[in-house]
Amino acid sequence: MADLPFVALSAITLAAIYGLLAIGISIIWSSLGMINMAHGFTFALSGYGAWLAAQYLSDAGPMVLAGGIVAGALSGVLICAVSFLPLHDKPNFVVRSMIATLAISLIGSQCLLWAFGPRVKALPKVFGEGTVEFGEVVFTADKVGAIATSAVVLLLTLFWMTRSRRGLEIRAMMQNPEGAALVGIGVRKTALWVMAVTGGLAGLAAVLLSQTFFVSPGSGLQPLVKGLIVALCGGLGSIRGALIAALLIGITEAATATYLGGQYVLMTQFGLIIAVLLARPRGIGGLLDETRE
Amino acid sequence: MTAPILEVRGLSAGYGPLRVLHDLDLTVEAGERVGIVGLNGHGKSTLFRAIAGLTDWQSGSVCIRGAEVGGSRSQGPGRHTHRIVRKGLALMPQGDAIFPGLTVREHLDAGAYTSLAWRERARRRDRILEIFPPLARLMDTPVGRLSGGERRMVSLGRGLMAESALLLVDEPSLGLAPKISKAVVEALMKIDLQDGAMLIAEQNLTLLEGRVTRLLGMHAGRLKGGGSVVLPGRHVGGGA
């Protein structure tokens, strides 16, 4: 068990990145009632946004991060304009929007393939090449940076959600859409905010994960699956549940990859989600019964 | 003469193939407290929901302080509700439409949607607490944990935060113990309407009798008595 610190650090890094994605999926589901199948497309597009920023503006860390976050927010707004605004008051919205976002995801990844070609792109090292030492253990800067950045951004987002007026509107809409309309909250305007913020979180996740993996047109699929697993496991609509689930899934992935081998990761993860959902059908947070039926 | 607070002309509304309201007319003037009584399923709530744009479909004119918010609509329930609310409507619906995870304070803040109300929200919260004193010690409790009566107070208090011109209160006594429902109705009667008006739907006639400007009967989607049944001795001008 000599590599325990390494496993723990990998687990927390993955948890931070999956948490960013899962919270987005969770908030979108509970506030807009939409399963966003295009969240992975947002992820992939943000990778290219960061790459473009690094190529044409500056390859300084903050610029690359900003490029990814802005591209993610724009992608969120686009998804909202195409699959939420025209559909949200039509019958069968849940199924329709799922098909619409799936279509955006498929068309979008083909467009990325057409625009940028099949060759993968590497992002510059946002946090430099250095290492951080804790006693005898040496941590690489990209992991420590990923954890610190996502922790700060998540805290800022949660603070904004609980303290600002816009955050209050979003939380009201998550809990009771009709009650929200009755206190004068415009669903369409709030939806744009939700999609922009969650898109920005996905964009940040994309830049952070691309420190280890490459940017490619299809790079959104795996994170979408992981994000959905974490969001379901945590209980759709529960932010706290999503964070706990992200940690569980991160530990499972890091431990499986180190001790069993990378090919078993999806197996153990799905095993975990099945176990959690058998024990707690509404996920860890289990708020769903009080929010959307 | 200024426009009435609420003027409804030829309103029909329903859900899917079901037509609940039939060509309904209703006028409410400033300063009036109007009770609508009728049995379950005769359209009291649907009337309120149609005014707020929450029914599946509707047709006919609904004017709030002279501004048209009705019209014909075959889909999109709730699509325009926030705009209608911003014209000066506060609907306190059956079932309270609360946000279970938000605290009482957050509910009241959420109700303060105009920029004036938002700036004054601390003062207005205090005013709500004067109307519903039991809420004072519950300000930081999530509303999902409150009792039925407390939830009703939160829902009513939230509706009062914006000081809207037209207050629609749907079944304030529903599901509450007689003593509590009496206290809630009592509090509603004490609210200063200023230039506004209040419509209360209620099954329990005795709770409203003698306390409202006029009482209307609702039967099978129509208002009885040509739109107004004036109680003797309580007639304060106006009337439809």
pLDDT for A133-174, tens place per residue? 776 777 788 888 888 889 999 899 989 988 899 999 998 988
pLDDT band at A243 (very low <50, low <70, confident <90, very high): confident
Residue A122 has pLDDT above 60, yes or no: yes
Residue of B nearest to A93 (CA): B76
pLDDT band at A233 (very low <50, low <70, confident <90, very high): confident
Q: Facing residues of B215 across strands?
A: B35, B229
- Residue A92 has a pLDDT of 86
- Residue A286 has a pLDDT of 62
The H or E element spanning position B59 is strand B57-64
Which amino acid is present at B115?
Answer: S
- Residue B167 has a pLDDT of 92
Candidate from B79, B101, B114 with C-beta closest to A175 = B101
Region of residue A289 (left: phi > 0; alpha: psi -120 to 50; beta: else):
alpha
Residues of chain B contacting A178 with CB distance shorter than 8 Å:
54, 78, 81, 93, 97
Compute the distance between CA of residue A33 and CA of residue A84 in angstroms, rounded to an integer.
Answer: 10
Identify the residue among A92, A166, A182, A239 best suited for mutation to test binding to B, counting B beta carbons within 10 A and taking the highest.
A182
Measured between CA atoms, how close is B117 to chain A, in angstroms? 12
Answer for the pair A235, A23: CB distance below 8 angstroms, yes or no. no
Answer for the pair A251, A233: CB distance below 8 angstroms, yes or no. no
Residues of chain A contacting B114 with CB distance shorter than 8 Å:
184
Candidate from A175, A182, A290 with C-beta closest to B81 = A182
CB pairs under 8 A between A and B: 81
Identify the residue among B80, B82, B114 best suited for mutation to test binding to A, counting A beta carbons within 10 A and taking the highest.
B82
Which tokens in the block code for residue A84? 């939420």
Contact at CB, B113 and A91, closer than 8 angstroms: no
User: Which contacts qualify for A162-169: CB closer than 8 Å, 24 or more apart?
Assistant: A165/B109, A165/B118, A166/A190, A166/A193, A168/B102, A168/B106, A168/B109, A168/B110, A169/B110
Measured between CA atoms, how close is A242 to chain B, in angstroms? 16
Which tokens in the block code for residue A29? 């589901």
Pick the range with the lowest mean pLDDT from A109-113, A137-141, A288-292, B223-227: A288-292
Residue A105 has pLDDT above 90, yes or no: yes
- Residue B238 has a pLDDT of 37
Residue of B nearest to A169 (CA): B110
Measured between CA atoms, how close is B170 to chain A, in angstroms? 13
% residues pLDDT > 90 (chain A):
35
Which tokens in the block code for residue B37? 């009584």
Residues of chain A contacting B79 with CB distance shorter than 8 Å:
89, 187
Residue of A nearest to B16 (CA): A91
Residues of chain A contacting B56 with CB distance shorter than 8 Å:
none
- Residue B1 has a pLDDT of 58
* Residues with pLDDT less than 50, chain B: 226-229, 231-240
What structural domains does chain A harbor? 4-290 (1.10.3470)
Answer for the pair A202, A36: CB distance below 8 angstroms, yes or no. no
Compute the distance between CA of residue B112 and CA of residue B128 in angstroms, rounded to an integer.
Answer: 12
Residues of chain A contacting B164 with CB distance shorter than 8 Å:
none
- Residue B227 has a pLDDT of 44
pLDDT for A260-274, tens place per residue? 888 888 899 889 888
Contact at CB, B97 and A184, closer than 8 angstroms: no
Q: How far is CA B233 from CA A137, B214, B216, B237, in A?
A: 88, 10, 15, 11
Residue A47 has pLDDT above 90, yes or no: yes
Residues of chain A contacting B99 with CB distance shorter than 8 Å:
171-172, 175-176, 179-180
pLDDT band at A40 (very low <50, low <70, confident <90, very high): very high
* Alpha helices in chain A, H assignment, sequence order: 4-32, 39-56, 61-79, 93-116, 141-163, 165-175, 177-182, 187-209, 221-234, 239-259, 265-279
pLDDT for A68-98, tens place per residue? 999 999 999 999 999 999 988 888 888 999 9
Contact at CB, B101 and A185, closer than 8 angstroms: no
pLDDT band at A291 (very low <50, low <70, confident <90, very high): very low
Residues of A with CB under 8 A from a CB of B: 89-91, 165, 168-169, 171-172, 175-187, 287, 290-291
Candidate from B77, B91, B102 with C-beta closest to A182 = B91
Pick the range with the lowest mean pLDDT from A78-87, A207-216, A279-288: A279-288
* Alpha helices in chain B, H assignment, sequence order: 44-51, 81-86, 104-111, 115-119, 121-131, 148-160, 178-190, 205-208
Contact at CB, A184 and B162, closer than 8 angstroms: yes
Contact at CB, A183 and B76, closer than 8 angstroms: no
Contact at CB, A175 and B52, closer than 8 angstroms: no
Which tokens in the block code for residue B89? 């409507």
Contact at CB, B54 and A181, closer than 8 angstroms: yes
